[in-house]
């Protein structure tokens, strides 16, 4: 398998799905918010979450990609909304994202807030629309997948993690784990569990993917902590040193670079071990994708 070409193929698929589901303005009065939504949604990125959803779907026997396209689009819209809000002056106050001006720097804080809100709401419109289209059997699984995504995006997941990140009353490793698991892992977990659910995967398979997502998500965020110190603005596509600038404690500030790197490796190995529970040939790309995430530079 040529992993590089396979990855590009999947990323291209995601781009096409996003183009398909990105709503278009029908009025001059609201055009600016649609432009801001599209600017952030289509500004590149690795498209990790929809790709993970697709792979879990395939591994669990799903064979109609059109069935999960709305959920792939919704997940990436939710992720993009979180980035728009995360970059705001009230949060991390970043000027660049993926090598481009952040949404609020391009369109202003007011429009950026509304663009993030609009992407979140559009995600739920898309998922609910998909749930209303099919027979009762598919509807149940689509509703379950929607609930997985909604919970991960809400106060029990990403928002809860973001609140703890903003407040960060204490600075011990337990608090940082809470932030990472809720702010980052929850959405990555939901990408996998939603994909498995949409393929009518068993509860056991969904639970395995939940464990894989937890490991990948935590490793991913620890890597972000590391890259914030070791990378450059040009390579990372956003400002480095923002954690230090904002006075945030991270894995690196508490554990150091080497131990943080070791923890990432251990988490990735745990994810790969859990993936061994699936014995079909559809898991090869996901194995390579997990290894690719471990070695990412941005």
Rg of the chain over Cα atoms, rounded to whole angstroms, equals: 18
Q: At what angle do helices 65-86 and 136-153 cross, to 10 degrees?
A: 20
Which residue reads 């807030």 in tokens? 113
Classified as helix, coil or strand, 96 is strand
- C-alpha closest to that of 208 among 270, 154, 264: 270
CA–CA separation, 233 and 99 (whole Å): 8
Sequence-distant (≥ 6) Cβ neighbours of residue 148 within 8 angstroms: 190, 193, 194, 197
Tell me how far CA of residue 225 lies from CA of 29, 135, 242, 254, 270, in angstroms: 41, 45, 10, 11, 20
CA–CA separation, 173 and 179 (whole Å): 10
pLDDT in tens, the chain (298 residues): 799 999 999 999 999 999 999 999 989 999 999 999 999 999 988 999 999 999 999 999 999 999 999 999 999 999 999 999 999 999 989 999 988 999 999 999 999 999 999 999 999 999 999 999 876 668 999 999 999 999 999 999 999 999 998 886 677 899 999 999 999 999 999 999 999 999 999 999 999 999 999 999 999 999 988 988 887 777 777 777 667 666 678 898 899 999 999 999 999 999 999 999 998 778 999 999 999 988 887 7
């Amino acid at each position: 398998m040529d992993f590089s070409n396979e990855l590009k193929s999947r990323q291209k698929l995601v781009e096409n799905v996003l183009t398909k589901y990105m709503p278009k303005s029908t009025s001059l009065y609201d055009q600016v918010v649609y432009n801001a939504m599209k600017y952030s949604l289509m500004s590149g990125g690795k498209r990790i979450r929809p790709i993970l959803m697709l792979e879990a779907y395939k591994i669990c026997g799903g064979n109609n990609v059109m069935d999960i396209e709305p959920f792939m689009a919704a997940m990436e819209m939710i992720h993009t909304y979180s980035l728009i809000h995360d970059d705001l002056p009230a949060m991390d106050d970043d000027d660049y994202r993926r090598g481009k001006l952040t949404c609020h720097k391009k369109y202003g804080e007011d429009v950026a807030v509304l663009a993030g809100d609009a992407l979140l709401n559009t995600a739920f419109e898309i998922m609910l629309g998909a749930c209303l289209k099919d027979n009762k059997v598919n509807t149940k699984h689509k509703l379950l997948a929607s609930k997985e995504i909604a919970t991960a995006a809400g106060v029990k997941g990403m928002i809860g993690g973001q609140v703890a990140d903003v407040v960060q009353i204490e600075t011990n490793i337990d608090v940082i784990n809470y932030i990472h698991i809720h702010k980052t892992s929850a959405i990555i977990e939901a990408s996998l569990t939603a994909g498995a659910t949409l393929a009518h995967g068993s509860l056991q398979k969904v639970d395995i993917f939940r464990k894989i997502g937890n490991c990948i998500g935590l490793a991913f965020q620890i890597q972000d902590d590391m890259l914030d110190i070791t990378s450059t603005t040009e390579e990372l596509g956003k400002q480095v040193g923002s954690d230090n600038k904002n006075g945030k404690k991270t894995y690196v500030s508490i554990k150091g670079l080497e131990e943080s790197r070791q923890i990432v490796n251990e988490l990735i190995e745990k994810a790969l071990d859990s993936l061994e529970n699936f014995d079909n040939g559809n898991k090869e790309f996901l194995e390579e994708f997990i290894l690719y995430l471990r070695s990412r530079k941005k």
